[in-house]
Structure 1
Amino acid sequence: MDRKTAKLYIGKKVLVNEGNQGQYIATLEDMVVEPNKPWRGIVRIQGVYEYPNYSIDTMELVHPCFKENERYECSGQRIEPYSHSFPYNYKESLALSLKDKWDEVHQVNQDTEIILSLIQQELRRLHSEHLIFEASYVYYQLVKKGRSIYIYDESKRETLSIDGCPFEFEIHVNGEWVQALYISGMSFETEDGEQVDLKHGSTVRLNKAQFDPYRMLINELEKPSLHALEKGLKKLNIGHEHSVYCHNSLLIKLLTSFNKDNFNGVNFISYANNQNQFVVQHHYERSVSETEESTTFDRFEFTSDSGERILTTYATQFSRD
Structure 2
Amino acid sequence: MDRNTAKNHIGKWVIINEGNQGQYIGILEEMKTEPNKPWRAIVRIKGVYVYPDFSLEKLDLVKPVFKENERYECSGQKIDPFNESFSDGYNESLAYSLKDKWDEVHQINQDTEAILSLIQQELRRLNSEHLIFEASYVYYQLVKKGRSVHIYDELKRESLALDGCPFEFEIHDNGLWIPALHVKGLVFETEDGKQVELNHGSTVRLNKSQFDPYQMLLNELEEPSLHALEKGLKQLQIGHEHSVYCHNSLLIKLLSSFDEEELNGVNFISYSNDKNQFVVQHHYERGINDLGENTTYDRFEFTSDSGERILTTYTTQFSND
Amino acid at match of 1:264: N
Using the TM superposition, name which of 221-230 and 302-311 deviates more. 302-311
Deviation at 1:87, TM superposition (A): 4.8
Match of 1:129 in 2: 129
Number of residues paired by the alignment? 318
Q: 1:79 to 1:170 in 2, by over 3 A?
A: same
Deviation at 1:57, TM superposition (A): 2.2
Match of 1:20 in 2: 20
How far, CA to CA, are the matches of 1:53 and 1:211 in structure 2?
33
Match of 1:108 in 2: 108
Pairwise CA RMSD:
2.4
Match of 1:265 in 2: 265
How far, CA to CA, are the matches of 2:50 and 2:299 in structure 1?
42
Q: 1:290 to 1:110 in 2, by over 3 A?
A: farther
Partner SS state of residue 172, structure 1? strand
Q: 1:64 to 1:166 in 2, by over 3 A?
A: same
1:125-158 alpha-carbon deviations (Å, 9 max, x no partner): 5443332222111111122222211111122222
How far, CA to CA, are the matches of 1:64 and 1:35 in structure 2?
34
Match of 1:220 in 2: 220
Using the TM superposition, name which of 132-141 and 30-39 deviates more. 30-39
1:90-133 alpha-carbon deviations (Å, 9 max, x no partner): 34333332222122112212222233233334444544333222
Amino acid at match of 1:226: L
How far, CA to CA, are the matches of 2:308 and 2:32 in structure 1?
53
1:197-253 alpha-carbon deviations (Å, 9 max, x no partner): 222222111111111111111111222332332233223221111111222222222
Match of 2:181 in 1: 181
Deviation at 1:196, TM superposition (A): 1.6
Kindly indicate whether residue 277 of structure 2 is the aligned counterpart of residue 277 of structure 1.
Answer: yes
Kindly indicate whether residue 231 of structure 2 is the aligned counterpart of residue 252 of structure 1.
Answer: no
Using the TM superposition, name which of 119-128 and 178-187 deviates more. 119-128
Using the TM superposition, name which of 233-242 and 222-231 deviates more. 222-231
Unaligned runs of at least 5 residues, structure 2: none
Partner SS state of residue 85, structure 1? coil
Match of 1:149 in 2: 149
Q: Following superposition of structure 1 onto structure 2, how do residues 204-243 of structure 1 map, counting pairs within 5 Å? A: 204-243=204-243
TM-score for the superposition, normalised by structure 1:
0.88
How far, CA to CA, are the matches of 2:189 and 2:181 in structure 1?
5
Match of 2:64 in 1: 64
How far, CA to CA, are the matches of 1:213 and 1:156 in structure 2?
21
Amino acid at match of 2:192: D
Deviation at 1:188, TM superposition (A): 1.4
Partner SS state of residue 297, structure 1? strand
Identity of aligned residues (%): 75
